[in-house]
Amino acid sequence: MRIFALSDPHFGRDMSRFGDVWVNHEDVIRREWRRTVAPSDLVLIPGDFSWATTTKTIEKHLDAVNGLPGRVIISPGNHDKWWKKTARLRFSEVTFLCDASMPLGQDWVLAGTMGWDCPESPWWEEEDREVFDEACRALEATLERATADFPNRRILLMFHYPPRWERQETPTAFEEILARFPVDLVLYGHIHGGDLAMAHNGVMTVGERRIRYENASADRLKMRPMKLLELPGSAADLSREAE
């Protein structure tokens, strides 16, 4: 099973203000996906999947990926206003993961939570403090449950917001939480265009841990899903592992 990532596809939104790479981006995503992903693969989308506000529209966007190769797991982003409708949505190859975790092969556990802008972010506003504090609590609780339910496994975290901003900065509050758990890989998105200069990719020192960060924003990847890992088995096995 190969594991791919593509964050922030922004279905239903004109994103051209972030550059020419966004021209007809939905068609490009479908084309590049078919070129890259096989039916036995898994594709992770850590947020900002769709700007839909109605059930009819989000089902149209989910249909677009449900018909593509591979199994899809989506965690929420700040623009996924449709997220509360997930209980009413049924798509055979799409899983919604928020403040929760699931086994991933024999050695990994996949966890997902949204996060928020932290005080180190250039867009930080003090009025966001309450939402930020709640995001920290959600991250901690998600990782605690993942570790308790699946001990001795490495954690791959789907986290929409960047967990850090400056390469050499003192760890953010999010990172202080990450460092307490066996998180080996953080997959995130959220930033686009010129702001991608602030994206961190590769292994970072976080406290006493070394954690791999990967920004999978669609424009950074030119709309092509990025390979993250390769594990034994098939994406079709995931449901059986969770039972």
Contact between 225 and 37 under an 8 Å Cβ cutoff? The reply is yes
- pLDDT the model gives residue 92: 67
Instruction: Read off φ and ψ for residue 56, nearest 5 degrees.
Output: -60, -45
What angle (nearest 5°) sits at the alpha carbon of residue 188, between those of residues 182 and 190?
Answer: 150
Q: How many domains does the chain have?
A: 1
CATH at residue 124: 3.60.21.10
pLDDT tens for each residue of the chain, 243 residues long = 899 999 999 999 999 999 999 999 999 999 999 999 999 999 999 999 999 999 999 999 999 998 999 999 999 999 999 999 887 787 767 999 999 999 999 999 999 999 999 999 999 999 999 999 999 999 999 999 999 999 999 999 999 999 998 767 678 999 999 999 999 999 999 999 999 999 999 999 888 899 999 999 999 999 999 999 998 777 766 754 543
> Residue 81 is part of which domain span?
2-242
- The DSSP secondary structure of the chain, one letter per residue, reads -EEEE-B---BT---GGG-GGGTTHHHHHHHHHHHH--TT-EEEEES--B---SHHHHHHHHHHHHTSSSEEEEE--TT-TTGGGGGG---TTEEE-SSEEEEETTTEEEEEE-----TTSTT--GGGHHHHHHHHHHHHHHHHHHHHHSTT-EEEEEESS-S-SSTTSPPPHHHHHHTTTTEEEEEE----GGGGGG---EEEEETTEEEEEEE-BTTTTTT-PEEEEE-SS-GGGHHHHH-
